[in-house]
Amino acid sequence: MSAITRRGVLLGATGLATAGIPARAADKPGKLTVLAHRVHQLVCTEGPAGDATKAWRDENGIALEWVTLDLNAIRDRLMREAALSHTDINVGFLLNTAAVPESLALFEPLDSYLQAKPIEDQSDISTGFMKGFAYKGVQYGLPIRQAANALHWNAALFHERGVEAPPDTIDGFLDVARKLTYTGKDGTRVYAFAAEGDNYTTMVMIARAYGGDLITEDYRVLADSPGMIEALKLLRAIYQEKLTPPNITAMSQNDLIGAMQQGQVAMEMFPFGRTVLFNDPKTSKYPGQYKLAMWPGRTAGEIISTAEFWGMVIPKTSSAKDSSWSLMRDLVSKRNTVIETINGNGPVRVSAYGDPEIVKQIPYAAMEAAALKVARVPMPAFAKAAQVKDICVEEMQAAMLGMKSPEAAAKSMAQRLRPLMPA
């Protein structure tokens, strides 16, 4: 990890409280550089609904250069760039867990931009998403993507093994996973389940399915609760019984997407919109065969889902801020929200789920809307969230790999996390 991260940026709250008029550098550049994940670029520029940026680029005569990295690398690169005396990054994508005061101080306050050139119908954007990128009443980011998670499954592989659908309770998951780990007729080794082995989100979702949690909204640590211990037991069994790829702890998001597209994995946890990529006939071995289900809870019909959300920010030390704001407000317009949603984005506008085009083209819209009603972030935002994530991943992997018992890993996780909680 870079030595300069948001944990190392020592900035006081004084700078955050100053929402003065932005220092507007010379505008109309030849291009803007956007730092994001590859999926962010895809939903904005490719897919069934086309390129949401084309009209803006044509009107303004400005090209877009996308710099795409994996999740942790985005955070570290953005914080490092924003801490420089000047950065070539014009717009960055920031995850809600990184939107803490120490980080927001590095980005341009947006209030004067919102007053001078407001975004379209701001009341249509979830208030919770907007507040996630604000501090002391000052707005620092515009939400553009929510990522509520669901269980994606390959119906062709299920049919081949005589399994009708994913289990409807968490207690039935292991039995189904055992049936879905096999060598296919074409020689492909199929694993039942895969998730990000270097992230804690799936662990938290499983813990909640067992009635547990990691950290509550008021920062109580429940990492040693019975529900978390059961989650670590399940993850350990999945790994030890070889029901997941052996290199799961090193697989990136792109690796996981590719494995799912090629039929090497039968089930994966990902945001709803990933189904567009899984069913893409240009890249998928099983187009049209990927379906969605909710992660199973203790009782049939229970909805378990986590959700995170992304916002766009402008580094204080970047140039062309007027153009950066123009791009951001265009990307969150109602029309572009529809385009991005059809391309696989999770919309932050309430109206999107009732839009006729989305209802017509996205069969999972109602399921996603239901998930959002109960979905919670895996962990609340606070200054040491990144350090907490590293500890959680370390203890989770220790349990999976057999280096610690689930009980010992849960106890160690809780002991290490509690001193890091905000006062």
158: number of Cβ within 10 Å: 20
Hey, which CATH number is domain 13-147+307-374, 3.50.30.40, 3.30.565.10, 3.90.550.10, 3.40.190.10?
Answer: 3.40.190.10
Residues 11 and 102 sit within 8 Å (Cβ to Cβ): yes
Report pLDDT for 3: 38
Distances (CA, A) of 326 to 30, 35, 185: 14, 16, 53
Per-residue pLDDT of the chain (423 residues; tens, 9 = 90+): 333 333 344 334 344 444 444 444 446 899 999 999 999 999 999 999 999 999 999 999 999 999 999 888 999 999 999 999 999 999 999 999 889 888 999 999 999 999 999 999 999 998 888 988 999 899 999 999 998 899 999 999 999 999 999 999 999 999 999 999 999 988 999 999 999 898 999 999 999 999 999 999 889 999 999 999 999 999 999 999 999 999 999 998 889 999 999 999 999 999 998 998 899 999 999 999 999 999 999 999 899 999 899 999 999 999 999 999 999 999 999 999 999 999 999 999 988 988 999 988 888 888 988 888 888 889 888 889 889 999 999 999 999 999 999 999 999 999 999 999 987
pLDDT at site 27? 60
Same fold: 13-147+307-374 with 148-306+385-420:
yes
pLDDT (0 to 100) of residue 292: 97
Length of the chain, please?
Answer: 423
Query: How far is C-alpha 387 from the geometric centre of its chain's CA atoms?
Result: 18
Ranges of beta strands (E only) in 58-209 are 63-68, 91-95, 134-135, 138-139, 142-154, 182-183, 189-194
Residue 386 has a pLDDT of 85
Q: Are 351 and 124 in contact (CB under 8 A)?
A: yes
Token pair in block for residue 199: 């992230």
3-state secondary structure of 278: helix
- Torsion angles phi and psi, residue 268, rounded to 5: -145, 150
Nearest to 268 by CA among 177, 150, 152, 174: 152
In sign, the C-alpha dihedral spanning 217, 218, 224, 226 is negative
First to last CA, the chain: 26
The candidate with the shortest Cα–Cα distance to 222, out of 72, 388, 96, is 388
Contact 106, 81 (CB under 8 A): no
- Which superfamily does 148-306+385-420 belong to? Periplasmic binding protein-like II (3.40.190.10)
CA 301 to chain CA centroid, Å, is: 24
Q: How far is CA 376 from CA 106, 110, 196, in A?
A: 27, 26, 18
The Cα–Cα gap between 267 and 265 comes to 6
**β-strand partners of 151:** 269, 293
Q: Whose structure tokens read 């500890």?
A: 391
The CA distance from 146 to 159, in Å, is 32
Cα–Cα distance measured from residue 398 to residue 240, given in angstroms and rounded to the nearest whole number: 12
**3-state SS class at 378:** coil
Alpha carbons 404 and 399: distance in angstroms, whole number:
5
The encoded tokens of residue 255 equal 């690796």
Closest CA to 285 of 365, 186, 151, 179: 186
Q: DSSP letters along 22-65, please?
A: --------SEEEEEE-HHHHHHHH-STT--TTHHHHHHHT-EEE
| Beta strands 63-68 and 31-36, pairing class | parallel
The Cα 229–Cα 408 span in angstroms is 9
> Is residue 275 within 8 Å of residue 364, measured between CB atoms?
yes
Q: Where are the domains of the chain?
A: 13-147+307-374, 148-306+385-420
CA dist., res. 213 & res. 224, Å (int): 9
